Every structure is written in structure tokens, then in C-alpha cells.
Amino acid sequence: MLNFKFSMLILLCVLVITGAIVTGRHRLLVYVMALEGPPELLEVKIEGNDIRWFDDYFTVQAIDKKTFAIGEPRYYQQNYNYLLLGETKAIVFDAGTGQRDIRRVVESITQLPVTFIPSHLHYDHIGNDIVFPRTALIDLPHLRKRSIKGTLQVAWYEHLGEAEGYAAPALSVTQWLAPGSTIDLGNRQLKVLYTPGHTDDSISLLDSASGYLFSGDFIYPGPLYGFLPNSNMGDYLQGAATLQAIDDRALRIFGAHGAGPPGVPELAAGDVSSLQAALKAVQAGRVSSSGFYPVSYPVNDEIMLLTEPAFLQNWQARYPEFGH
């Protein structure tokens, strides 16, 4: 009898511990991912003729006369931020971690009034202590509800800065961008596409006239992160459908992280089709994963999807009404 009670107690303990790990897995993950101090900069590599070093950290690559990729090839995540110029206004889409001040690079290229738009709220995109006079954010009910007099305190699970010792900032939001709305920079229009999945606050910017899509962390060459606290597979599928609906088979897609060859990380419309097909196969259980946590699914030669194991995947989109 004593043995039975003891076994039950052990079983209960195992269940409680398992429950705690499942519930607190994202906090645990950030703890495991956290670096000891700031990351070491990578060695300077030859970046090719099209790319100019602004200083010993940032690179500038002109995609055309009004579109610039500002790279951070020495940061281990190899971020790419984008400066988009119109005739009267400019946008900077992402600002890195802020360990170096991207405003200096922006000011060296344009005198136009610049609005900062983060592709999402992760610490390696919102610039942290860097403050722009104008910041525009995707208008989502859960963000709007939390903003007080235009200030939004970013939550830890939206920011994940603990991984590199950045505190989650309070953003002064000067403009809210409705999903599907258009930003006019003066003879240049950008459509705000809601592309959740990596996070529930992720957006892409579409410049139809130029045939460019700036996709943030939704899609880029390399491993896509779909296992973070506000990642969601139903959202990812919705985001893929939104991008798949863009009627331009020659679309050039510029992502927020590089992985392989030097220079701007670029994909094509076919890569969105591959992602959408992979997501549908994962949802239907038609493809097997490798690894334990996160698990990995192949997308194509350049892309793989890292996500949670099937029993933890959520296929319910958060805001289906903001799909294409």
C-alpha cells in the first residue's frame, strides 16, 4: 500500500513538473538562449562591390536610388534594415538592436522626415534605446488596448531582449497603421500587410510599383522561427496566404536576416509558395519533423521552419479578419 501511495506521489510530481515545463517553456527557452554578455562581433568579410561599409559595423547597399538595405553583417544574427525614400517622406523598416545607432546611417543618406516602423517588436528589430521622432506601429486590438496616451510598454514575450540583456522599452507611437492600409511617401506607396506567424505583431511592406516586398522575419533565407512565445502556426498559414495573394510572380522579397552569401537576403515569390505548401503539409501531418525542441520542417533548399512539436502547435489564427 505504501508502495502504491509512493508511486502515485512520484507520478503526481512528474505530472506537475511536466505541466510547469510545458506552461513555462517560453520563459525557459529565453533563459536557455540568453548570452553571457553582449555577443562578439563577427570578423569583417568581403561583402562584394555593391556594398559600402558605412563604418566598421553598418553596410549600405542601394537596391535602387530610393531603396537602401542597411546591413549589420558583423552581428551574429546578420540583420538587414531598410530605408525607403519617397519624394516627401522616408521610412526606416527595422532598426537592429540599437547597439549601434542606425540614425547616423539614415541621416547620411536622406534629409527627409523619417518614420520608424518595426517589422515586429523583437529586441533585434526595434532599436531599443534608439528613439525616432516618429514611430508607426501596426494597429492591432491587443496593442491599442495597452497603449496609454500613445505609449506602449512592450511586454517581455513580445521583445525577448533578456536574451542579450536589453530591457523591454516603452514605445512612443505617433501613428497606428491599419492592416491593409497604404502609406504615401510622396509618389511612392507602401501597403501594410499583416503577416503574423513568427510573432502576432509582424508586418510586411509591399511596394507594388517597384515589385518589392519587405518581409521582416516572416520569411528570409535560413531557419524561420515559429516556436517563440507569440509564434503561431495558424497565423503563419494566414500570413503565407496574404503574401501568396500578391499578384506579381517577379516579386523581389527582402528579409530581415541574412544567412548565406554576403549582401541583402533576397527571396522570390516561389519561396512563399514553398512556405505555404510546407505549412499545409505540417498541418495535415503529411511531413515529419527532425529534432526535439524546436522541431524542424524542410521548406526548400534555402528555408526551414522551426516550430513546436505537433501536440503544441496552434492552428487557430488570432486575427483571421486581417488576412488578405
Helix 269-283 / helix 233-244 crossing angle, nearest 10 deg = 150
Is 158 one of the binding residues for Zn ion (CB under 5 A)?
A: no
CB of 226 to Zn ion, least distance (A): 11
Q: Which stretch binds Zn ion (CB under 5 A): 64-72, 73-81, 116-124, 278-286?
A: 116-124
Would you count residue 122 as binding Zn ion (CB under 5 A)?
A: yes
Contact between 108 and 128 (Cβ < 8 Å): no
When the beta carbons of 201 and 217 are compared against Zn ion, the nearer one is: 217
- Closest to Zn ion by CB, 89 vs 122, is 122
- Report in angstroms how near the CB of residue 256 gets to Zn ion at its nearest: 7
The nearest distance, CB 6 to Zn ion, in angstroms, is 46
Minimum distance from residue 120 beta carbon to Zn ion (Å): 6
Bridge partner list, 82: 69, 93
Residue 136 or residue 163: which is nearer to Zn ion going by CB?
163
212 backbone φψ class: left, alpha, beta (φ>0; ψ -120 to 50): beta
Map the chain to HEC letters: CHHHHHHHHHHHHHHHHHHHHHHCHHHHHHHHHCCCCCCCCCCCCCCCCCEEECCCCCEEEEEECCEEEEEECCCCCCEEEEEEECCCCEEEECCCCCCCCHHHHHHHHCCCCEEEECCCCCCCCCCCCCCCCCEEEECCHHHHHHCECCEEECCHHHHCHHHHCCCCCEEECCEEECCCCEEECCCCEEEEEECCCCCCCCEEEEECCCCEEEEECCCCCEEEEECCCCCCHHHHHHHHHHHHCCCCCCCEEEECECCCCCCCCEEEHHHHHHHHHHHHHHHCCCCCCECCCCEEEECCCCEEEEECCHHHCCCCCCCHHHCC
The residue of the chain with the least Cβ separation from Zn ion equals: 122
Partner residues linked to 176 by β-bridges: 137
Whichever of 124 and 266 has its CB closer to Zn ion, that residue is 124
Q: Which is nearer to Zn ion, 161 or 188 (CB)?
A: 161
Q: Interaction with Zn ion in 228-257: which residues (CB under 5 A)?
A: none
Q: Minimum distance between the CB of residue 151 and Zn ion, rounded to whole angstroms?
A: 22
What is the nearest approach in angstroms of Zn ion to the Cβ of residue 25? 18
Contact track, Zn ion, 185-224, x by CB under 5 A: --------------------------------x-------
Closest approach of Cβ 125 to Zn ion, in Å? 6
CB of 223 to Zn ion, least distance (A): 12
Q: In terms of CB distance, is 217 or 271 closer to Zn ion?
A: 217
| N residues, the chain | 324
Q: Which is nearer to Zn ion, 217 or 266 (CB)?
A: 217
Nearer to Zn ion, 11 or 167 (CB): 167
The pattern of x and - marking residues 72 through 111 that bind Zn ion according to CB under 5 A reads ----------------------------------------
Mask: binding to Zn ion, 279-318, rule CB under 5 A, as x and -?
Answer: ----------------------------------------
Considering only 103-111, 120-128, 169-177, 278-286, which stretch makes contact with Zn ion by CB under 5 A?
Answer: 120-128
Q: Which is nearer to Zn ion, 122 or 188 (CB)?
A: 122
- Cα-Cα-Cα-Cα dihedral of 93, 99, 105, 106, to 10°? 30
Residue with the three cell numbers 498541418? 283
Residues engaged in binding Zn ion (CB under 5 A) = 122, 217
